[in-house]
């Protein structure tokens, strides 16, 4: 009985997020043009994007070149002097033809909650396309929409190039969903907040 209740408690938050976010999860072709795309970090060991992160960045570049977004806010971890996830993300996008001036870096996106809160409160984003893997979209959409971002999401399908990691990632979303539900209840400040930054607004007025 207790085991069954534990499984139910683990499944309930993520199940709710899947249902609540269903209308906001779209294919790239169906996504309406939106000024800002938010790309979430997913690891950059040895200064190179992980396969999951590369998948997100390829999708982000395609959305930019397809006219779906004008500016890309890349949000990730730069908590250590030798690890700079947003910089790796920026360089990868530049290599794929996205202009440097159209990429804005958030160095304190340590998790999905922090990235969403900072996008809204620090960078002033109130409408965005979220760019991540499909397994991450329900949680990312729920959190970003809860802080006042009118968000839709376009997800990368990681199964063809990372089938095992994709299955593991779906399983990891179960405890991550519990954490997200807790954050929705207590609404903590991110690790770093700080003053507002005009980077997104400036990038929107930067020539292509």
Residue 30 CA: distances (Å) to CA of 74, 87, 144, 152: 22, 30, 20, 11
Q: Does residue 199 belong to any structural domain of this protein?
A: no
141 with 21: CB under 8 angstroms? yes
d(CA 131, CA 60): 6
Q: Does residue 207 belong to any structural domain of this protein?
A: no
Determine the pLDDT at residue 178: 92
Does residue 2 surpass a pLDDT of 50?
A: no
d(CA 75, CA 59): 15
Q: Please report, for the domain that includes residue 60, its CATH number.
A: 3.40.50
For 43, the domain range is 25-190
Q: pLDDT tens digits for 65-123?
A: 999 999 999 999 988 778 899 999 999 999 999 999 999 999 999 999 999 999 999 99
d(CA 75, CA 98): 16
d(CA 86, CA 190): 17
Q: Does residue 19 belong to any structural domain of this protein?
A: no
Q: Does residue 15 belong to any structural domain of this protein?
A: no
Q: pLDDT tens digits for 149-173?
A: 999 999 999 999 999 999 999 999 9
Our count of domains for the chain comes to 1
Q: Which helix (H) or strand (E) holds 131?
A: strand 127-133
d(CA 9, CA 175): 10
Does residue 4 surpass a pLDDT of 70?
A: no
Q: Rounded to two decimals, what is the model's pTM? A: 0.94
Q: Does residue 67 belong to any structural domain of this protein?
A: yes
First to last CA, the chain: 60
d(CA 102, CA 104): 7
Residue 59 CA: distances (Å) to CA of 77, 113, 158, 182: 20, 22, 11, 30
The more confidently predicted of residues 1 and 188 is: 188
């Amino acid at each position: 009985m207790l085991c069954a209740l534990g499984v139910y408690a683990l499944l309930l938050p993520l199940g709710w997020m899947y249902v609540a976010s269903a209308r906001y999860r779209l294919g790239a072709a169906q996504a309406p043009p939106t000024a800002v795309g938010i790309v979430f970090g997913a690891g950059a060991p040895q200064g190179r994007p992980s396969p999951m992160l590369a998948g997100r960045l390829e999708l982000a570049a395609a959305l930019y070149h397809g006219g779906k977004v004008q500016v890309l806010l890349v949000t990730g971890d730069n908590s250590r002097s030798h690890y700079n996830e947003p910089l790796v993300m920026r360089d990868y996008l530049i290599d794929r033809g996205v202009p440097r001036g159209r990429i804005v870096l958030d160095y304190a996106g340590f998790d999905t909650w922090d990235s969403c809160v900072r996008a809204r409160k620090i960078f002033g984003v109130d409408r965005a396309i979220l760019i991540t893997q499909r397994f991450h979209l329900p949680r990312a959409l729920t959190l970003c929409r809860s802080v006042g971002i009118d968000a839709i999401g376009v997800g990368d399908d990681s199964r063809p190039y990372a089938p095992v990691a994709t299955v593991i990632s779906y399983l990891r979303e179960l405890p991550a969903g519990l954490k997200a539900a807790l954050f929705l209840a207590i609404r903590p400040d991110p690790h770093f907040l700080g003053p507002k930054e005009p980077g997104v607004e400036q990038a929107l007025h930067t020539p292509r």
